């Protein structure tokens, strides 16, 4: 019996991993094994936590722009022009389309279309380092133990993984993408590697851009590919031992092969990645840089029916040279996000697509210069932050909550990460009261406080 099981494993791992050039299968297999090793088994079940009727699904998709490092609320959506210079910084504030509301001067395009989205200025928490803050804002669940700044932590499924668990994308496409990498807490935890993001690491701004694992490997013709698939099906007739299923990752790989096959052979899936077919004028509008073209690719993915896309946008941890860095970065970031919102609206997609931009926290009111540095910056600050929230039926032209006159803390309509995450789930038609079960049978609330932000519903 053991010999037969080993033979099937050997055939699958050594002889047939080349079905799609090897890498797609390897990726899913390794993710599955790592997750199984961490939690000790398959993904848990779930049930509704409140027994109520199904929620109304306002949004079909979500594009989460993750500004990793913690963007400054002062230099983006919550300037403090009346504060002392050592707090307000070097940038001026500008009027937006909303009377009485101002953004920082480098947010000019978004300021001109502020009626199309909301800004939350009063979400705050008590996790002032990257690892813990990332986890809290990515999952709605505070870390259970102290977490260091550099830690990659996963105590709870991320937003993207939960959405992937609830909704399947069409045409064999993965339901959860992250570009160009996964956030440190953007994984599935006990839900299992099936709900981890499909990472598109290549730069869509390159003329040679292609998405790994969604086309036949070099030197493999379609007839040869189909022969390998048939051979794999033959191997699948070898005996399976159900008692070993939980311990043997190979037993769970059939769906991964099918997903890889669908990606490679379905024209609609291929079309979703064809960013080169976009008009050059539109590509320029998004910005001919990696972030701009990833935002355009995200629009193509949600247009194809993908329910969750994370744009991982790193480098917002400005302990030093914050004004020089943002003077260069913010204009192009502003251009890209404004173009994404406008493009979605022009295509009739903004009403069904959430677009959210945030990081793990804001930045300190006091500007400081680190030892050995000559240019000032701002440090981590979890007492205040700003979040852009658009689409999916969100009433635009509003600011939710407020910080004090010097940006130290949220003082009006004070909100938690749980409120913010519950709002996303509700808009996507997912009950934030839902209870999931871990492989060990432990009940876990999706969000401990399921109260949404009513102004955004």
Q: What is the 3-state secondary structure (H, E, C) of 30-53?
A: HHHHHHHHHHCCCCCCEECCCCCC
Q: What's the whole-number average pLDDT of the chain? A: 84
pLDDT of residue 254: 54
User: Is 88 inside a domain boundary?
Assistant: yes
Q: Tell me the whole-structure pTM to 2 decimals.
A: 0.83
pLDDT of residue 101: 98
Alpha-carbon gap, residue 100 to 218, rounded angstroms = 58
pLDDT digits (tens, 9 = 90+) for 419-443: 999 999 999 999 999 999 998 899 9
pLDDT band at residue 8 under the 50/70/90 scheme: very low
- Measured CA distances, 68 to 64, 131, 382, 394 (Å): 12, 11, 14, 24
pLDDT digits (tens, 9 = 90+) for 303-355: 999 999 999 999 999 999 999 999 999 999 999 999 999 999 999 999 999 99
- Measured CA distances, 354 to 65, 213, 452 (Å): 11, 28, 15
CATH number, domain with residue 93: 3.40.720.10
Alpha-carbon gap, residue 450 to 9, rounded angstroms = 44
User: Is 184 inside a domain boundary?
Assistant: yes
| 204 and 237 inside one domain | no
Number of domains in the chain: 2
User: Is 45 inside a domain boundary?
Assistant: no
Instruction: Locate 178 and state its tokens.
Output: 């992250």
Alpha-carbon gap, residue 206 to 256, rounded angstroms = 29
pLDDT of residue 172: 84
User: Is 46 inside a domain boundary?
Assistant: no
| 291 and 165 inside one domain | yes
What does the chain come to in residues?
457
| 383 and 428 inside one domain | yes
Domain boundary among 252, 270, 288: 270
Please choose, from the candidates 415, 393, 406, 400, the residue with its C-alpha nearest in 3D space to the C-alpha of residue 455: 400
pLDDT of residue 227: 53
Facing residues of 310 across strands? 64, 178
Please choose, from the candidates 124, 5, 16, 8, the residue with its C-alpha nearest in 3D space to the C-alpha of residue 70: 124
- Dihedral sign, CA of 154, 159, 164, 169? negative
Alpha-carbon gap, residue 177 to 158, rounded angstroms = 12
The answer, yes or no, to whether residue 45 has pLDDT greater than 70, is: no
User: Is 47 inside a domain boundary?
Assistant: no
Q: Is 399 exposed, middle or buried (0-12, 13-18, 19+ CB in 10 A)?
A: buried
Helix H, strand E, coil C: the string for 379-437 is: CEECCCCCEEEECCCCCCCEEECEECCCCCCEEECCECHHHHHHHHHHHCCCCCCCEEE
Alpha-carbon gap, residue 339 to 296, rounded angstroms = 9
Angle subtended by helix axes 222-235 and 254-265, to nearest 10: 170
Cis, peptide link before residue 180, omega less than 30° from 0: yes
Q: Count the helices and strands in the chain (H runs, E runs).
A: 13, 17
More confident position, 226 or 453: 453
User: Is 177 inside a domain boundary?
Assistant: yes
* Domain around 364: 53-214+273-456
Instruction: Locate 17 and state its tokens.
Output: 């991993």
User: Is 343 inside a domain boundary?
Assistant: yes
Question: Residue 230: which residues within 8 A CB-CB, separation 6 or more?
Answer: none
Helix (H, G, I), strand (E, B) or coil at 285: helix
| 62 and 29 inside one domain | no
| 340 and 445 inside one domain | yes
| 184 and 151 inside one domain | yes
| 154 and 264 inside one domain | no
Among residues of the chain, what percentage have pLDDT more than 90?
69
Query: Is the distance from CB of 74 to CB of 367 less than 8 angstroms?
Result: no
Alpha-carbon gap, residue 395 to 204, rounded angstroms = 32
Q: What are phi and psi of 380, to 5 degrees?
A: -65, 145
| 263 and 281 inside one domain | no
Where is average pLDDT lowest: 18-32, 67-81, 218-232, 375-389?
18-32
Alpha-carbon gap, residue 157 to 148, rounded angstroms = 19
* Across 123-128, average pLDDT: 95
pLDDT band at residue 265 under the 50/70/90 scheme: confident
| 418 and 429 inside one domain | yes
| 281 and 250 inside one domain | no
Where is average pLDDT lowest: 93-97, 214-218, 408-412, 422-426?
214-218
User: Is 48 inside a domain boundary?
Assistant: no
Angle subtended by helix axes 417-427 and 159-166, to nearest 10: 20
| 224 and 295 inside one domain | no
Alpha-carbon gap, residue 207 to 73, rounded angstroms = 35
| 244 and 340 inside one domain | no
């Amino acid at each position: 019996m053991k010999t037969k099981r080993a033979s099937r494993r050997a055939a699958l791992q050594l002889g047939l991993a080349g079905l799609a050039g090897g890498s797609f299968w390897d990726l899913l297999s390794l993710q599955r094994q790592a997750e199984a090793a961490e939690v000790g088994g398959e993904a848990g079940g779930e049930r509704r936590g409140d027994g109520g009727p199904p929620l109304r699904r306002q949004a079909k998709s979500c594009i989460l722009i993750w500004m990793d490092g913690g963007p400054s609320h002062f230099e983006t959506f919550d300037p403090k022009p009346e504060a002392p210079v050592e707090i307000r910084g070097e940038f001026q504030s500008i009027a937006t389309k909303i009377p009485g509301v101002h953004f920082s001067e480098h947010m000019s395009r978004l300021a001109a279309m502020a009626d199309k989205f909301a800004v939350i200025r009063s979400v705050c928490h008590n996790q002032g380092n990257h690892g813990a803050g990332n986890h809290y804002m990515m999952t709605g669940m505070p870390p259970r133990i102290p977490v260091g700044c550099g830690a990659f932590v996963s105590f709870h499924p991320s937003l993207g993984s939960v959405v992937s668990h609830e909704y399947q994308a069409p045409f064999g496409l993965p339901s959860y993408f992250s570009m160009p990498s996964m956030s440190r807490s953007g994984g599935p935890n006990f839900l299992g590697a099936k709900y981890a993001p499909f990472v598109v690491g290549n730069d869509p701004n390159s003329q040679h851009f292609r998405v790994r694992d969604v086309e036949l490997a070099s030197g493999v013709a379609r007839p040869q590919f189909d022969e390998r698939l048939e051979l794999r099906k033959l191997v699948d007739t070898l005996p399976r031992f159900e008692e070993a299923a939980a311990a043997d990752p190979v037993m769970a790989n059939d769906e991964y092969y099918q997903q890889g096959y669908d990606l490679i052979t379905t024209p609609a899936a291929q079309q979703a990645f064809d960013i080169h077919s976009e008009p050059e004028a539109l590509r320029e509008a998004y910005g001919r840089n990696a972030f701009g073209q990833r935002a355009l690719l995200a629009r193509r993915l949600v247009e194809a029916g993908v329910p969750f896309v994370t744009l991982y946008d790193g480098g917002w941890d400005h302990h030093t040279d914050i004004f020089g860095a943002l003077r260069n970065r913010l204009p192009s970031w502003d251009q890209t996000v404004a173009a994404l919102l406008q493009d979605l609206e022009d295509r009739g997609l903004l009403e069904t697509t959430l677009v959210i931009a945030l990081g793990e926290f804001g930045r300190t009111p006091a500007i400081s210069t680190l030892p050995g540095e000559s240019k000032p910056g701002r440090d981590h600050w979890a007492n205040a932050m700003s979040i852009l929230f658009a689409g999916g039926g969100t009433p635009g032209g509003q600011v939710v909550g407020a910080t004090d006159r010097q940006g130290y803390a949220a003082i009006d309509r004070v909100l938690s990460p749980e409120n913010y995450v519950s709002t996303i789930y509700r808009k996507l038609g997912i009950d934030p009261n839902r209870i999931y079960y871990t492989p060990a049978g432990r009940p876990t609330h999706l969000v401990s406080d399921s109260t949404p932000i009513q102004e955004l519903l």
